[in-house]
Amino acid sequence: MAQFESRKKDLGAATYIAAEKRGGVWNPVKYLEKHPVSFPFLLDEDRVATRAYGLQHLFGHDALNIAHPATLVIDRGGVIRYIYRGDNQHDRAPLDEVIRAVREITN
C-alpha cells in the first residue's frame, strides 16, 4: 500500500482490499491506525472476491489459505484491464505498470 500512497496523484482513485478478518492475525484496524491510507480500505472477510479473481493461495512455502498479493485495474464498466498476481507474499506489481494501465483507461 505504501508504494501506491506515494503515487496517489498518478492513480486517481483506488480501493484496497484485504482478504483478512477484522479481528484476524494481521489486525487491519490496528494496522490502519498506525499506517493511515487515503483510499477506501475493504475487508474480504469471507474471501468471496479473493476466490472470484483466482487469488486464493491455499498452500505454499510462505502461505496457508491466504490471498496472493495482487493488483487489479478495473475500468468503470467492471472490466479488468490489468492484473498482477504475485507468486509469493513479497511479489508486488511494478508500480509503473499499474500507473500505465490506469492512464490507458483514464485518457
| Cα R_g (the chain), whole angstroms | 14
Give SS3 for 99. helix
Domain count, the chain: 1
Per-residue pLDDT tens over the stretch 78-105: 898 999 988 877 888 999 999 999 999 8
Per-residue pLDDT tens over the stretch 19-64: 888 887 788 889 889 989 999 989 988 888 888 888 876 555 444 4
pLDDT beyond 60 at 69:
yes
Q: Are 30 and 36 in contact (CB under 8 A)?
A: no
* pLDDT for position 66: 66
* pLDDT for position 23: 82
* pLDDT for position 37: 92
pLDDT beyond 90 at 71:
no
Integer Cα distance of 103 and 34 in angstroms: 31
- What cell was used for 102? 490506469
pTM above 0.85, yes or no: no
Integer Cα distance of 41 and 26 in angstroms: 14
CATH of the domain at 63: 3.40.30.10
* pLDDT for position 65: 56
Q: Give the domain extent around 35.
A: 2-106
